Amino acid sequence: MHPRWTLCGVWALAAAFTAVLPAQTPSAMGLRIVVVEGEGAINNIGERRAKEPVVRVVDAEFRPVAGASVTFLTTELGPSATFPSGSSVTTTTDAKGEAVGRGLRPNNVAGPFQIRVTASWRGETAAAVINQTNAAPTAIRKGSSKTIALILILAGGGAAGATLGLARSKSTSGATPTPPTSTATTVTAGTGSFGKP
C-alpha cells in the first residue's frame, strides 16, 4: 500500500473518532459551590434574625457560572430556619456566579442546624452544606449593667486610693501635699449591729 494512502487513512480515522466524542469545555468538567457568607453564623432567635447564606457557583477552573439554578434547603424539625416560601428557596446565580438565600429567619428552637445547598447547570450538579446555630439572648447580657456598675465603683475606689497615696508620698519628700481634685465613693461591706446606743 502506498504510504500516502496510509497517512490519509489515519487522518480519516482520527477525524471520524473525534466527531464521535462530545466537545468538552472546562466548565463541563466539574461544578463546585463555594460558600461566601453564612458559615458558622449565630442567629438571634429573640430578634428573629438570621444570616442569609450566600454561595458562588464556579466551574473546574473556579470561573463564575452565571445562570445556574441554586436551591437552599433547611430542616423542618428542631433548630432550623425558614425562607418566605417555607423550608426551601430556589434562585439563579448572577453574573458573578452568586446566589443568596433571601429572607432567612430562625425558628424559636436553640441549637445547631444545617442548610443544604444544591446547584445545577447544563446537566451537572454540585452540593454543599452551611452550618449555623440558633441562640437565645443570654442572662449574662441582662446582668451586664450591674457588673459594669460594680467594676466602676471598685475602679473609683482604687483611683481614690492611688491619688491619696501620691499626695502622701509628695508630703514626705518635703513638698506641699495637694488634695485630690475629685472625690470618689468607696463601698465597703461590713456587719451591722443592733443594740442600745
CB 105 within 8 A of CB 154: no
Check residue 60 and give its pLDDT. 93
- SS3 state at 94: coil
pLDDT in tens, 22-72: 333 333 459 999 999 999 999 999 998 899 999 999 999 999 999 999 999
CB 55 within 8 A of CB 99: yes
Same domain, 149 and 68: no
Structural domain including 147 reads 138-186
Q: What is the DSSP letter of 102?
A: T
Same domain, 142 and 131: no
Asked if pLDDT for residue 150 goes beyond 90, the answer is no
Cell of 67: 445562570
| Count of beta carbons in the 10 Å neighbourhood of residue 15 | 9
**Percentage, residues of the chain above pLDDT 70:** 55
Q: Is 41 left (phi over 0), alpha (psi -120 to 50) or beta?
A: beta
Give whole-number Cα distances, 65 to 23, 24, 54, 127, 158, in Å. 18, 16, 14, 15, 62
Same domain, 127 and 152: no
Check residue 137 and give its pLDDT. 79
Same domain, 144 and 71: no
Cell of 104: 432567612
pLDDT in tens, 66-100: 999 999 999 999 999 999 999 999 999 999 999 99
Residue 33 lies in a domain: yes
Strands 124-135 and 41-44, bridge-based pairing: parallel
Residue 86 lies in a domain: yes
- Dihedral through CA 138, CA 139, CA 145, CA 146, nearest 10? -160
Phi, psi of 71 (to 5 degrees): -120, 130
Provide the domain count of the chain: 2
Q: How confident is the model at residue 134 (pLDDT cuts 50, 70, 90)?
A: very high
Cα(150)–Cα(61) distance, integer angstroms:
58
Last residue of a domain, one of 118, 137, 156: 137
CB 1 within 8 A of CB 95: no
Is the pTM value of this prediction over 0.85?
no
